[in-house]
Structure 1
Amino acid sequence: MSPIQKLSIIMPAYNEGQSIHLILEKIKGVQLQAGINKEVIIVNDASTDNTEAAVLQYREANPELNILYICQPENRGKGAALHAGIARATGEYLIIQDADLEYDPQEYNDLLQPVLKGMADVVYGSRFMGSNPHRILFFWHTLGNNFLTFISNMFTNLNLTDMETCYKLFRTELIQGLVLREKRFGFEPEVTAKMARIPGIRIYEVGISYYGRTYAEGKKIGWQDGVRALYCILKYGLLRIK
């Protein structure tokens, strides 16, 4: 019997009204291994465009996809949206999915493999390993990712290649048991540091594809978020703030 009956897909969304139906269509088309069901939890972080209308229209037209829609009363940041979605997850495992088209839901099955083999509690999808396709974009952005991963590894004693990846698969009871504080992009280093401290935790990494966006196409993360991520690495990794 599969250790997973349901996978919760947590999707924070901010001003993704023009494309969110496309990623939902991709998720709907994924056939998960071992008969695993899908639960999609969309957290609208007080978008100012038609994100809500797009989600509700898609849900009405596609009732076979189990979608729970949550709307934040004000813009609180990606991390805060993830906190809200994680709290509502009912699957044995959950995965984080951005609302854009940078990551391919067909690769859920790749991330699930170490879990289905009984080897992993957490699986990170790395954009920097394997032979999967990667859009060629920003040198300094890639260098920044590598630097943050390196510093994070120093304090967690992990050998991750992509700490900042979106695709993180967690055993739900583990992540729901953490106290998570970061409201924006500091979520990544915080959850990594706190997961690494769980006794006996089994963390795996698999290669994934990456179809990155330019800033003109809607990419939102900036250098300020990189500075905050470094602060969070020191706060939760070096100082081990709970």
Structure 2
Amino acid sequence: MQNSSVVSPQKSLSVVVPVYNEQLTLELVLERLIEIVDPLEIIVVDDGSSDGTNLILESICLKYSQIRPIYHSKNRGKTAALISGFSATSGDIVIVQDADLEYNPEEISMVIEPILHGEADVVYGSRFLVRKAARVLYFYHFLANKFLTFLSNLLTNVNMTDVETGYKAFKGEIIRNMVITSSGFGFEIEVTAKIAKLNCRIYEVPISYYGRTYEEGKKIGIKDGLLAIWYIIYFNLFCSLKASFRAIPESFLKKGSKLLS
């Protein structure tokens, strides 16, 4: 069932692309986004790359007016890059696209569809909901993802299948009002806790996943997994709704909910 909150398609879509040393794939990702998705804007945040990624970004920005670059003078981590990117967006819908092609831009339209139809406030692209094309890689990573998702669900009471997915889409008013304080790869856990506090309508859709090995540039490690456990505990048990958002998004206030009680 659709409702009156339906938003217009891709021309209301902002894509945030955090980048760190992705000179081999960045241009291809951006060109595919332009060709397949044709969004309102693509905010690319170069998080202090040292491999020439910035030169590629400067060059491709001359070709496409939709691409808006942000440069960090030093590497500050994925979450810091996302914070910079979100603050620069203006679209009704905001989605994260990694620059390494582990996630297929052709599936963005499927990920944002529940928001476009007025059925969801947030959509996660799940690598585990229905098994689509997925590269077979590290079993320990699979177990870690399952454990972190279980622990997160235990405290949010939201039945997710993949909290660590890189494909997350939001109504713009939600993500731009969110106060994000974690670091490194902590965003995935923090945002899940905070959208649960806001009682967002959360959907998952199945996506493909073309993972990379560490030799191919994968960056997440054991330290990030241990930090994720702490973030799950902290943001669910010790961070209030008032501290999670600069302002409660207008559409949630209109619902007359008891969010601030």
Distance, in Å, in 2 between the alignment partners of 1:154 and 1:43 is: 33
Distance, in Å, in 1 between the alignment partners of 2:26 and 2:131 is: 27
Q: How does 1:103-118 map to 2 (within 5 A)?
A: 103-118=103-118
Segment of structure 1 superposing worse, 98-107 or 231-240: 231-240
Distance, in Å, in 1 between the alignment partners of 2:68 and 2:109 is: 22
Q: 1:168-218 CA distances to partner (integer Å, 9 max, x unpaired)?
A: 00011111111110121111111110111014x100000000000000000
**Counterpart residue number, 2:29:** 23
Instruction: Show structure 1 runs of 5+ residues with no match.
Output: none
Q: Does 1:157 align with 2:157?
A: yes
**Counterpart residue number, 2:259:** none
Distance, in Å, in 2 between the alignment partners of 1:83 and 1:14 is: 15
Distance, in Å, in 1 between the alignment partners of 2:186 and 2:37 is: 32
Q: How does 1:119-138 map to 2 (within 5 A)?
A: 119-138=119-138
TM-score normalised to structure 2 length: 0.87
Q: Does 1:50 align with 2:52?
A: yes
Contact (CA 8 Å) 2:130, 2:206: kept in 1 or not?
Answer: yes
Distance, in Å, in 1 between the alignment partners of 2:91 and 2:120 is: 16
**Counterpart residue number, 1:98:** 98
Q: CA deviation at 1:131?
A: 3.8
CA gap of 1:177–1:31, structure 2 versus 1, over 3 A, is closer
Contact (CA 8 Å) 2:45, 2:85: kept in 1 or not?
Answer: yes
Letter in 2 for 1:15: N
Q: 1:123-148 CA distances to partner (integer Å, 9 max, x unpaired)?
A: 00000122420000000001000100
**Counterpart residue number, 1:13:** 19
Q: CA deviation at 1:31?
A: 4.1
Secondary structure at the aligned position of 2:218 is classed as coil
Contact (CA 8 Å) 2:27, 2:56: kept in 1 or not?
Answer: yes
Taking only the aligned residue pairs, the percentage that are identical comes to 46
**Counterpart residue number, 2:7:** 3
Contact (CA 8 Å) 2:123, 2:202: kept in 1 or not?
Answer: yes
Distance, in Å, in 2 between the alignment partners of 1:47 and 1:237 is: 33
* Count, aligned residues: 235
TM-score normalised to structure 1 length: 0.93
Tell me the C-alpha RMSD between the 2 structures: 1.4
**Counterpart residue number, 1:39:** 41
Q: CA deviation at 1:13?
A: 0.5
Distance, in Å, in 2 between the alignment partners of 1:176 and 1:25 is: 26
Which aligned runs of 4 or more in structure 1 are off by greater than 2 angstroms?
238-242
